[in-house]
Structure 1
């Protein structure tokens, strides 16, 4: 049975159909990639799945066999579904450790303070943030470190599934390569990953399945190589003249 299943999911803003009848499923343990041009509805799709900041207008969203469409973001998170965002989000006036510790309050598992601190330290170390940085203010971190902090905060929640929204944006080539390895290690923990990214090489190196959105609708879906060779996908990314 699929861990995440969407059927005919839609979200509109006035006359704009940001997500228009999207259906797909993600199996437990896989890395599933989502691509698409700017404005294709990728982040809006993540928003309606996670309930942050809004749910779908219609359609079914089922996580681990349970309907979650329309639930609040915190209730969805406590069922084991966590996410990161396009921009590096953190509470800049709090320390690195305090930011990651807050993730535990949204997790499905409640634990004593000592155990929570241990889990937080483990999550930060896992993503490559050294102990000496635990007491730094989050606002002092580099872009890459802030992305790692977002991941640590999500991992601390002990999720079954993690939604990553453009984790490679604004990173250098060595940082992108490090991100690929980190995502593989997260998947190695048994965490299912749904991944949005503009960089197709990034998606190709990680995804078992790839979906391409265009103007809110599913343009193509399947094995990554066959999807990126689809003439409709080439046209959506490059335009008719360049595709030719």
Structure 2
């Protein structure tokens, strides 16, 4: 049984079908890539999976065989599903350590304070934020460090599945390379990853399986090299088919 199963999920805003009958499965330990042109429904798909800020109009989402559509964001998170966002989201008025504490306490309520603090510190060390300083305000961090803080806060929750929404956006080439290594190491911790990225080369370097969305629907899915070679995918990204050989 797959760890995450999405079955015929749809979400519409008036006449616009942002997500239209999307289905896929993610196995435990996998890095599953989701690609697509701007406006293809990638982030909306994450929204309906996590219930933040809305769930699907129809369809089912299962985590470890348990249906989670219709549950609150809090319930879904505590069942083991976490996410990051396209923009660097943090509590800017709180310190780096306080942000990580929020994740550690939120993901596993009832933990002893000492364990919460230990989990938060370990997550920050894992993403390389010890040099920044745990007492620094989150709002003072660089874009890259804020993305690392988002990841640390999510890891501190100890999720089974982590959804990453465009982690490479606005980063320099060296920062992107660092992010690739960090995501690989996150998967090695036993966290299953679903990764949205507009940059195909980033996805190709990480994903075992790749799904491409276009206009809210699954355009192609499978082994990454095969998907990227699909003429429909080329047309969706470039607006034209390859010239005949």
- Scaled by the length of structure 2, what TM-score is found? 0.97
SS in 1 for 2:105: helix
Shift of 1:22: 0.2
Query: d(CA) in 2 for partners of 1:109 and 1:188?
Result: 25
Aligned match of 2:15: 15
Shift of 1:115: 1.2
Whether contact under 8 Å (2:105, 2:116) holds in the other structure is no
Alignment of 1:87-102 (within 5 A): 87-102=87-102
Query: Do structure 1's residue 183 and structure 2's residue 183 form an aligned pair?
Result: yes
Query: Do structure 1's residue 218 and structure 2's residue 218 form an aligned pair?
Result: yes
Gapped regions of structure 2 (runs ≥ 5): none
Query: d(CA) in 2 for partners of 1:169 and 1:227?
Result: 22
Give the superposed CA RMSD.
1.0
Query: d(CA) in 1 for partners of 2:212 and 2:138?
Result: 34
Cα gap change, 1:131/1:112 in structure 2, threshold over 3 Å: closer, same or farther?
A: farther
Runs of 4+ in 1 over 3 A off after TM superposition: none
Whether contact under 8 Å (2:34, 2:42) holds in the other structure is yes
Gapped regions of structure 1 (runs ≥ 5): none
Provide, for residues 57-102 of structure 1, a one-character-per-residue CA deviation record: whole Å limited to 9, x for no partner: 0001111000001211110000000000000001111100001100
Shift of 1:18: 0.2
Alignment length (residue pairs): 243
- Scaled by the length of structure 1, what TM-score is found? 0.98
Query: d(CA) in 1 for partners of 2:109 and 2:91?
Result: 23
SS in 2 for 1:133: coil
